[in-house]
């Protein structure tokens, strides 16, 4: 079976300037996720960051990407609108897109959702417990019914997104909040997942269960099909002969 081609995109700024983040992710968040996917097997993984030439997402890279992971936080505004639109178009054409944690405010994610993607938040080193809501979903394959992270940033409802097509996880937080922490949507020919955890000051992406979710998600989001997205053709020929009615019937003269 051909490997799934994954590109892990990371803003990568916290790892440069915040010592505690650098200590947790010496290879960057992207490096940690890429290593986990390589270990899982079946993937051909590359990484890309905001500060790479062309932000790491040239057409050649996107042509060779079945699934794009996206982590961003403090530099959402530095992503050019044109790049965000290009990513959106790729998703509509069939590329998988996995938005992680603070990427709820990433430009491509917001374009795909059409909503503000706002939420409530608190940094208080609190416990997060995930409940699998849809055990049969491929993203939940092999997971226990619940799993925990000892310390995470809290994200709380209302999460301003369209109703998910599938709700895979709901999170419980020690401080008293809940969140739809694993949500999928189909957009155009592509599959989109939002997966909540991953604050930069916690070693979330080193966690084996979280890594299982990421690998499952990449497998689920990858699709063989790529199609043109913006096709609105004039259909000169009809399937059937058209007779038309005798006269334009108008039932009113308002």
Do 167 and 211 meet the contact criterion of CB atoms below 8 Å apart?
A: no
Q: Cβ 67 to its own copies, closest distance in Å?
A: 14
Q: Applying CB under 8 A, which of residues 78, 85, 124, 144 lies at the interface with its own copies?
A: 124
Residues from 162 through 201 that contact its own copies (CB under 8 A): 162-163, 165-167, 170-178, 180, 185-191
The structure tokens listed for 9 are 């995109």
Q: Applying CB under 8 A, which of residues 39, 46, 82, 90 lies at the interface with its own copies?
A: 39
Phi-psi region of 28 (alpha: psi -120 to 50; beta: other; left: phi over 0): left
The reply on whether position 7 binds its own copies by CB under 8 A is no
Q: Applying CB under 8 A, which of residues 62, 113, 214, 217 lies at the interface with its own copies?
A: 113
- Segment lying near its own copies (by CB under 8 A), choices 6-14, 48-56, 64-72, 161-169: 161-169
Do 101 and 74 meet the contact criterion of CB atoms below 8 Å apart?
A: no
β-sheet bridge partners, residue 170: 131
x/- string (CB under 8 A) for its own copies, residues 64-103?
A: ------------------------xx--x-x---------
Can you give the three-state secondary structure of 26-76, one letter per residue?
CCHHHHHHHHHHHHHCCEEEEEEECCCHHHHCCHHHHHCCCEEEEECCCCH
The reply on whether position 2 binds its own copies by CB under 8 A is no
């Amino acid at each position: 079976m051909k490997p799934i081609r994954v590109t892990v995109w990371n803003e990568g700024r916290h790892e440069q300037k915040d010592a505690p983040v650098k200590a947790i992710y010496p290879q960057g968040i992207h490096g940690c996720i890429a290593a986990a996917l390589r270990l899982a097997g079946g993937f051909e993984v590359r990484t890309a960051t905001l500060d790479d030439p062309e932000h790491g997402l040239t057409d050649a890279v996107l042509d060779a990407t079945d699934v794009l992971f996206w982590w961003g936080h403090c530099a959402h505004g530095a992503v050019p609108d044109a790049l965000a639109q290009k990513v959106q178009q790729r998703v509509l054409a069939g590329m998988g897109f996995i938005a992680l944690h603070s990427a709820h405010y990433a430009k491509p994610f917001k374009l795909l959702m059409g909503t503000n993607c706002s939420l409530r938040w608190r940094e208080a080193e609190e416990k997060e417990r995930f409940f699998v809501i849809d055990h049969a979903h491929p993203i939940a394959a092999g997971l226990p019914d619940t799993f925990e992270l000892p310390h995470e940033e809290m994200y709380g409802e209302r999460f301003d997104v369209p109703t998910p097509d599938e709700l895979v996880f709901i999170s419980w937080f020690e401080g008293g909040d809940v969140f739809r922490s694993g949500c999928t949507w189909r957009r155009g020919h592509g599959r989109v997942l939002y997966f909540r955890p991953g604050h930069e000051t916690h070693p979330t992406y080193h966690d084996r269960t979280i890594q299982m979710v990421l690998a499952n998600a990449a497998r689920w989001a990858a699709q063989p099909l790529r199609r043109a997205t913006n096709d609105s053709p004039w259909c000169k020929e009809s399937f059937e002969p058209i007779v038309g009615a005798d006269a334009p019937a108008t039932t009113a003269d308002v």
